[in-house]
Each structure stands twice: as C-alpha cells, then as structure tokens.
C-alpha cells in the first residue's frame, strides 16, 4: 500500500463516518431539539388551564366546607326547633 491508497481510504472512511455517524447524530439532535421546543411550547400553553383547574379545585373545597358548615348549622337549628316544639305540646 502506498501513500495515495492510504489517503483514498482515509477519505472514503471520512465520508462514510460523516454520512453514517455524524449525519445520524445531527438528525437525532435536530429531532430532540424540536421535541424539546414543542414540549416547552405545550407547557406554556397548558399552564393557564392547569392553573384554572387548581383554582376551581380550591373553590370546590371551600364550597364544600361552606356547604358542610351550613348543613351542620341547619341540623342544629332544626334540632333546636324540634326540641322547642316537643316541650310546647
């Protein structure tokens, strides 16, 4: 093997590496970059909806506490009224 043949082999190997290794790495990097970009955009768009859901859930808890308190107060009031009716017969 002479120097020219070695140079041709190196060039052929260099082209093959560029095409099959580096090229695939670049494609994977581009896909990953696009995926991350899409994911971040989705999260930015979804954040207000998620926040709204959390707020509604918080409102639901407050409403349940208020309703529960009102129910207990109604029950106590009803019990007092029935107690008074029982002794006024």
Question: What are the start-end ranges of the H helices in the chain?
Answer: 3-17, 23-87
Q: What was the pLDDT predicted at 49? A: 82
Q: pLDDT, tens digit, for every residue of 13-40?
A: 887 777 777 888 888 999 999 999 998 8
DSSP per position, 32-43: HHHHHHHHHHHH
Our CA angle for 9, 14, 17, nearest 5°, is 125
Write the pLDDT tens digit of every residue in 38-81. 988 988 888 888 888 777 777 778 888 888 899 999 999 999 99
Q: Which residue has the higher pLDDT, 12 or 29?
A: 29
User: CA–CA separation, 9 vs 3, rounded Å?
Assistant: 10
- Report yes or no on whether pTM surpasses 0.75: no
CA pair distance 3, 16, nearest whole angstrom: 20
């Amino acid at each position: 093997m002479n120097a020219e043949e070695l140079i041709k082999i190196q060039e052929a190997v260099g082209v093959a590496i560029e095409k099959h290794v580096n090229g695939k790495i670049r494609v994977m990097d581009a896909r990953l970059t696009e995926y991350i970009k899409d994911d971040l955009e989705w999260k930015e768009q979804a954040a207000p909806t998620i926040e709204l859901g959390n707020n509604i859930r918080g409102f639901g808890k407050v409403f349940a506490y208020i309703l529960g308190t009102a129910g207990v107060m109604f029950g106590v009031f009803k019990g007092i009224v029935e107690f008074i009716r029982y002794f006024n017969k």
